[in-house]
Chain A
Amino acid sequence: MFKKALLALPVALALGATANAQKAPEDVLQALIDADPGSVYLTQSEMNIMMMPDSPALWVGMDGEDLFHTARGPNNVSMEACDFGKGPGVIEGAYVEMPRYFEDTGKVMDLETRIVHCMTEVQGFAADDPAVRQRHGSGSDHMKLQTYIAMQSNGMEWNNPLDHPLEKAMRDAGEVMFARRAGMSDFNCYACHGEVGKQVRASRLPATEAKGEWSKAISWPAFRVGHDNVRSSQHRVRGCYYQMRQAGMLAGSDASIALISYWTDMARGQPAVLPDMKR
């Protein structure tokens, strides 16, 4: 543990340098806490806050940096050729402006779907290649790349564009989905996120109306201590539908992206904690 702590500092410095040299993720979180000191969600785990400078997600992000800049796939090109919305290879501030509309596909895409697109269309990987297919786990290419790319938006304000009619349509459909009750428990997203200061079992819940809480809540990738893995937005959405006793969400479906468009819009203007650490 001690060794890891010693090593983590330079990692944090090196990775932070490209995005927001002034603020580490724990500093961004601290600012959210300072703005809402009564929030039991933001402050629920002192241990996690303490551990953030040593988050394993920082290492996953470092692997992602290597992966991002390495020429890969049948076409032997790196992710630098991929446009995440701000031009090929530009990732600083790209993630807080996703999901967004992409001209080349005619679709609104979140980070994960965009990485899939670039792996298959730019790098030439087959859709069933493990690099494309394996979405979960700290060891997956997806989580490495997502973490690295997202970290270049640490401390920046969520600001997914809604100028394109499709972006607006997806956000509005996501708002409906957020409130849509179905399944054996009649739950919608508000069952857990509609009131401030609640908990499910021992777990403190973030509420949509507490904007700082919501900003941390949607700050994925995050290292989930209980899972011992870095997790993504798509993983969170799937888990929520699972607990709601609704159907299994398909990764990258337009339904998932609509929901993520709405949840990002609800955190608009709040700083992203990337990578975050969650229980």
Chain B
Amino acid sequence: MAVAKVSERWAAMSLVPKEEVGLLVDGLARHYQVIGPKQKGKAFVLEKLASGQELRLDYQTSILPPRKALIRPRETMFSFHDNQVETVQDAGPQVLFGLHPCDVHALTLLDQVFSLEYEDPYYAARRQQTYVVALNCTTVGENCFCYLMGTGPTLRDGYDLLLTDLGNEYLVEVGSDAGEELLRHLSLRPAPRVRVVEKEKRLDQVRRQFRQQMEVTEMREVLAGSYNHPAWRELAKDCLGCGNCTMVCPTCFCFQVKDQLELDLNHGQRVREWDSCLLWDYSLVALGHNFRPQLETRLKQRLYHKLYYYEDQIGTPGCVGCGRCVTNCPAGIHPLEVVARLKGE
């Protein structure tokens, strides 16, 4: 995952005709498990692609974020019986194909979270064998605000290969040695340098489609003075506490751990599952004390963590502006609208 400066690698640019992009997936699938966007009803999911024909690079966003390929919604950590423990390790080489810049940013945040104080061996093992084929955004989704968060619509690093839609073909750029390794499995036509101009022109057009509502620094200032703002109580009347926003968030990383025994009370498994600070018993501790029994405090925790605390922990906001929480909130709670309300707009 050593990411080289893209500028050093101009020579490695290639082109893929749009109708052949599925062949890239097929080519990679001979060596890796390829996970990419495919349609599910009216939405899209990132799932193992059985063939390149399933690939839908016109997807706006997926229901669950790519973190599900690195820390699974539910996974067995080890199994045990009598006095023996058997570790479970299911990591294998995988390619995350067609990730948008916001989601790639989210992965780089998670990389830090899962190695900051203690390295998470399950995450690390999968991450080492994970290749990222990113896709610059050439359209703007209804709820996207990556431009504001500085995480899109285009990508500078964090990828192994980067695709950009040029109309009839995709420009393919290499971002790492691993990316070059991926390219070796494919036979692509080299791209003339002039296509980079075309790329920049298209991406500029995309940037202009964003309405800039607020600066990140301003967001932080507003939140710093709003912890006891009465708007929180009003927001908590709408918030369902359902946890949808956290389930679909690409940077949420909380999990719970539990042991599950078989009926013989001898064999069992230790499993971990995604958890959410929106849930009532998330902050419940032994002897029954709950640090955040009111929904209002949990709603605040989520938004403050994403837009404020994360920056103290990692150095950048924990929100990448993917808009999934907005799309999936039945009550229509939008982080930017919350900040605007706190600001008094």
Answer yes or no: are A and B bound together in one complex: no
Which B residues have a C-beta under 8 Å from some C-beta of A? Answer: none
